[in-house]
Structure 1
Amino acid sequence: MRISVAEQPSGRLTEAWRFAVGTGRFDLALRRDYQDSLALVQREIGFRHIRGHGLLSDGVGVHRPYSYRGQRHVRHAFGYVDQVIDAYLDLGIRPFVELGFMPSALASGEQTVFWWRGNVTPPRSHTEWADLVRATVGHLVDRYGLDEVRRWPIEVWNEPDLKDFWQDANPDAYHRLYEVTAHAVKEVDAELQVGGPALSPGADDGWLPRFADFVTDRAVPIDFVSRHAYTSGPAQHVPFGVHQTLAPAQRLLEQFASPRRQLAGTALGQLPVHITEFNSSYRPDNPIHDTAFHAAYLAPVLVEGGDLVDSFAYWTFSDMFEEVGIPTTLFHGGFGLLTHRQVKKPTYHLYAFMRRLGDQVLARGTDHLVTRDDTGRIAVLAWAPVDVTGRDPVDGHTVRLSLPVASATARTAFLLRSSVSEEAGNAWRAWCELGRPPSPTTGQLDVLREAAEPARRHTSLPVLAGRVELDLHLARHEVTLAEVTPVTDETPPWWDESRLFGHEPPATA
């Protein structure tokens, strides 16, 4: 069935999908490969904020206690912080600040998480923790200016409902940490944005309402609510990787919607909601992240997510990420849109395609989104349906559209189509066909980067009665961007294509 797209927009496409993106731990941003990858992402996608763990962990060196004349003192050092944030701002991206984890010299215990050992215990002194928060936030304001830092959301901790990330997953201890932290932030400036609690997808339905009751009863500042969303099942471990079942992508949207559902009627019910992490698998070593399937799986989430939340941050922009150790191969199932050495994955192109969409929404469906920009260019994002079990993949799918052309004089339109699928724009597939080299040679990297580019084609389409008929035949796991632009014909009157090879012009009567 052909869908006739209306000429008048039905709404606006929000930028919630690129408000923020995730990253590996804070100090990884000091590496060249990281900065090269982020520069590429910013040129072609352009995220607004970036969030990661470890700002206050030992590797960044902010909290530096020392003894002088028999007294304990603390020096706050921001050399690494400045280098990273300077680089972020130079690339046009702002921090989404996560306050954590606990500096070891301030920690009340020795429990850590990840290969790089982020401490996840409460502070042994909440007074010293508040001093650390005030010093850190105050330094940011002094260096970057109050107007700038007011635009940076400040989130308190990460997934305190999980024992891996917060000792005993103790809500009372987290509530105290949040209260102390939020007040410390507001002591620097009352208009700075502070929020939480950055809950995991597995948090029970009582966690967020209890947090809301606590901050309301005690008049604790809160400017936004945050949580995370993933859809994978238990990890089935293999050497240097995992495999997992997946729930349908709709489950991500349900998780996006849950904070507002749980907070309806409370004092927090109208606050902005930020999904500060989302992906399919919560593991950084699941090969599903590298596949064409993954792009088609997430396409409807990017299209619909902005209707439910103020932002949703893909976790993460790069495979520069070491929570379970240093990766042993180029493609290893990392979270990133890019591998190390800037090889683009199909999901990278999904985001790059989103960047090309207009802001006027003309039509939406279960397999497509039609937009228009102020120049009259129509951009269609379409995707093939997926089977999350992998048992019955969909081979062949067609989206048929009748598009309005915003030109009274155009007789043709130019179609530019870019696609990724199992066969196109799929560097992971090329890497498999190359024999899965753990550390590709320079020549192999060149091959992979070429294989990662979308298939592109173009043609001229007739405009009839102010409309263009567009048939998009989609291969397995294909995501395609079709851009339709009305043509103003400026061909000179002497042009005759039949003379391209030197033939004489036809005789005239």
Structure 2
Amino acid sequence: MNRVTVPGEPIGRLSESWRHCVGTGRLNVALRADYQESLALVQRDIGFRHIRGHGLLSDDMGVHRRSNDGVTRYSFTYVDQVFDRFLELGVRPFVELGFMPTALASGDDTVFWWKGNITPPNDWDEWAALVRAVVRHLVDRYGADEVRTWPIEVWNEPNLVNFWKDADQEAYFRLYEITARTIKDVDAGLQVGGPAISPGSDEWWEPFAEFVTRRDVPVDFVSRHAYTSGPAQHVPFGTYQTLTAPRHLLDQFDAPRKHLAGTALAGLPVHITEFNSSYRPDNPIHDTAYHAAYLAPVLTGGTDLVDSYSYWTFCDVFEEENVPTSLFHGGFGLLTHRQVPKPTYHLYAFMARMGTHVLARGADHLVCATDDGRVTALAWQPVGGTDGPDAPERHDVRLSVPMTGPRAFVRRERVNEHDGNAFGAWRELGRPRSPGPRTLDVLRDCARPAVEHRSAEVVAGRVALDLALARHEVTFVEVVPVHAEEHEGLDDRRLLGASDDRLVAPHERR
């Protein structure tokens, strides 16, 4: 195969839209130690900027309280603990307003095991009062300048009957208008947007744009979700699904701009507030090396399409389909419970170490440079979803990258069906549902990417990288210029204590 000659000058900057936001289980689970330990690890290795989850207004957060004699009080005990911890870990809320508190709900329809109420309010004025109280509290506690950096999204997937009673578009538009105007009444600089629609409902864009334009309703950004899986094929405590090709995720990312072109909403920031392959939290594809290879072109290719695309979710502390029955159970998370990284976690961690200057993009690679002279390359084996061809056992990527100095240090990390793959090790261990401490340590060890390194000669200002990728591999390479330092007296030939005389060739001795 031909070697790709990577230009020495950047062709652009790597946008941070890929880590602008990440998804989470409902906000109540953020109070748990396992969750907080997982988020701390994710922030250390990846560093997401915002975090979005359901259930801010659901009963288990205790915000909307009503006494037996009809007195309403707003409580922020749990909200403060959750948001304080987020900020301590360097991640800001991407606020989703939902679901409906039971005392304010117009019906009993719920979603998920934890029963988020999906009905409109029984009193629209009281809903506005709740929104006002929440937003005012956030501004008072964290300051207007801070909260203005937190996007506020109105509801979640109102186009689905699962998430909004009867998927009533007119009722959602009313909810959006009242909510947006109330938020702006608190502080005009706060960001509000929606409609947070699911895939397959692009027919909502035109009426949403027409409604907010006709009524001059505030909208600072638009949002939608993206998934590429087919109908669920249920098995006990699990689900299998077909997957379309990864490029279909990128098509969904690009859809809002296309549908809003020519409307008053054209040019607004676009946030993909959920994306993944499968929309099911019990699909084993999420745990695999295949999944990392599948998402690699999405993670690298979406940076210039939208303002953010939020991976759903950062960890498996997540209970939409009840409490998981096994450590590996097909959860959305980059991490399992107890902080075992999945291959897709490493894809994100590799991306976090890429430089800011893009040198080259390809169907199987992204090459960047850092300000301090390092060159980084992310490479992957392309995969095509259910109808794509079977991936071969090997995929070659050959690059010629620019480098200064006479020599370079080349370090490579790899994740594939064997290396950096705790899911594979878990299967070899007999799929233990509740592994003990020793087994968890083994799984964490097996989750580490394989590492190799070498010294490379720089020839005519370039280093050749011949990368043989195993099946479903994602690999990260860092090329560092070497500036040798003199250490007088050091001689590696004397590591076993040889004298100066023994280091001289026999014919040179006198």
State if a TM-score over 0.5 links the two structures: yes
Q: C-alpha distance in 1, partners of 2:377/2:260?
A: 35
Alignment of 1:404-419 (within 5 A): 404-405=402-403, 407=404, 410-419=405-414
Q: C-alpha distance in 2, partners of 1:121/1:192?
A: 26
Give the 3-state SS of the residue equivalent to 1:501 in structure 2. Answer: coil
Residue 65 (structure 2) aligns with: 64
Report the Cα offset of residue 391 of structure 1.
6.5
Letter in 1 for 2:478: E
Q: Deviations over 1:119-166 (max 9, x none)?
A: 000001110000000000000001111111000000000000000000
Q: C-alpha distance in 2, partners of 1:47/1:256?
A: 19
Report the Cα offset of residue 505 of structure 1.
2.0
Alignment of 1:445-460 (within 5 A): 445-460=440-455
Residue 145 (structure 2) aligns with: 147
Q: C-alpha distance in 2, partners of 1:213/1:74?
A: 36
Q: Deviations over 1:264-299 (max 9, x none)?
A: 011101100000000000000000000000001000
Letter in 2 for 1:472: L
Give the 3-state SS of the residue equivalent to 2:106 in structure 1. Answer: coil
Unaligned runs of 5+ in 1: none
Alignment of 1:17 with 2:18, yes or no, is yes
Give the 3-state SS of the residue equivalent to 1:105 in structure 2. Answer: helix
Letter in 1 for 2:50: H
Q: C-alpha distance in 2, partners of 1:39/1:463?
A: 39
Letter in 2 for 1:285: D
The alignment of Structure 1 onto Structure 2 pairs a total of residues equal to: 502
Report the Cα offset of residue 493 of structure 1.
4.8
Q: Deviations over 1:432-462 (max 9, x none)?
A: 0000000001110010000001001110010
Alignment of 1:159-174 (within 5 A): 159-174=157-172
Letter in 2 for 1:88: F
Letter in 2 for 1:193: Q
Letter in 2 for 1:79: T
Partners of 2:244 and 2:384 within 8 A in 1? no
Alignment of 1:489 with 2:487, yes or no, is no
Q: C-alpha distance in 2, partners of 1:448/1:202?
A: 38
Partners of 1:234 and 1:245 within 8 A in 2? yes
Q: C-alpha distance in 1, partners of 2:389/2:374?
A: 39
Partners of 1:387 and 1:394 within 8 A in 2? no
Partners of 2:226 and 2:253 within 8 A in 1? yes
Unaligned runs of 5+ in 2: none
- Quick check: 113-122 or 72-81, which moved more? 72-81
Alignment of 1:437 with 2:438, yes or no, is no
Report the Cα offset of residue 492 of structure 1.
2.5
Residue 337 (structure 2) aligns with: 340
Q: C-alpha distance in 1, partners of 2:136/2:308?
A: 26
Instruction: Tell me the TM-score normalized by structure 1.
Output: 0.97
Q: C-alpha distance in 1, partners of 2:134/2:271?
A: 23
Give the 3-state SS of the residue equivalent to 1:192 in structure 2. Answer: coil
Letter in 1 for 2:143: G
Letter in 2 for 1:323: E
Alignment of 1:50 with 2:51, yes or no, is yes
Give the 3-state SS of the residue equivalent to 1:206 in structure 2. Answer: helix
Report the Cα offset of residue 40 of structure 1.
0.5
Residue 100 (structure 1) aligns with: 98
Give the 3-state SS of the residue equivalent to 1:123 in structure 2. Answer: coil
Give the 3-state SS of the residue equivalent to 1:450 in structure 2. Answer: helix
Letter in 1 for 2:67: Y
Partners of 1:386 and 1:394 within 8 A in 2? no
Alignment of 1:9-408 (within 5 A): 9-66=10-67, 68=69, 72-203=70-201, 205-389=202-386, 392-405=390-403, 407=404
Moved over 6 A (4+): none
Letter in 2 for 1:124: N
Q: Deviations over 1:50-108 (max 9, x none)?
A: 0000000000010012355xxx3310000000000011011000000000000011011
Partners of 1:226 and 1:275 within 8 A in 2? yes
Q: C-alpha distance in 1, partners of 2:391/2:64?
A: 52
Residue 420 (structure 2) aligns with: 425
Q: C-alpha distance in 2, partners of 1:141/1:304?
A: 36
Residue 6 (structure 1) aligns with: 7
Q: C-alpha distance in 1, partners of 2:377/2:252?
A: 27
Q: Deviations over 1:460-493 (max 9, x none)?
A: 0100111111111100010000000010011435
Q: C-alpha distance in 1, partners of 2:302/2:71?
A: 47
Report the Cα offset of residue 393 of structure 1.
2.3
Partners of 2:246 and 2:384 within 8 A in 1? no
Letter in 2 for 1:457: E
Report the Cα offset of residue 494 of structure 1.
3.5
Report the Cα offset of residue 387 of structure 1.
4.0
- Quick check: 486-495 or 75-84, which moved more? 486-495
Give the 3-state SS of the residue equivalent to 2:176 in structure 1. Answer: helix
Q: C-alpha distance in 2, partners of 1:147/1:392?
A: 51
Select 1:464's aligned residue among 454, 459, 463. Answer: 459
Give the 3-state SS of the residue equivalent to 1:371 in structure 2. Answer: strand
TM-align CA RMSD: 1.1
Q: C-alpha distance in 2, partners of 1:433/1:256?
A: 37
Q: C-alpha distance in 2, partners of 1:35/1:492?
A: 46
Q: C-alpha distance in 2, partners of 1:380/1:470?
A: 10
Q: C-alpha distance in 1, partners of 2:257/2:315?
A: 30
Report the Cα offset of residue 385 of structure 1.
1.5
Provide the identity percentage. Answer: 66
Partners of 1:385 and 1:394 within 8 A in 2? no
Q: Deviations over 1:210-239 (max 9, x none)?
A: 101000000000000000000000000000
Letter in 1 for 2:32: R
Partners of 1:19 and 1:49 within 8 A in 2? yes
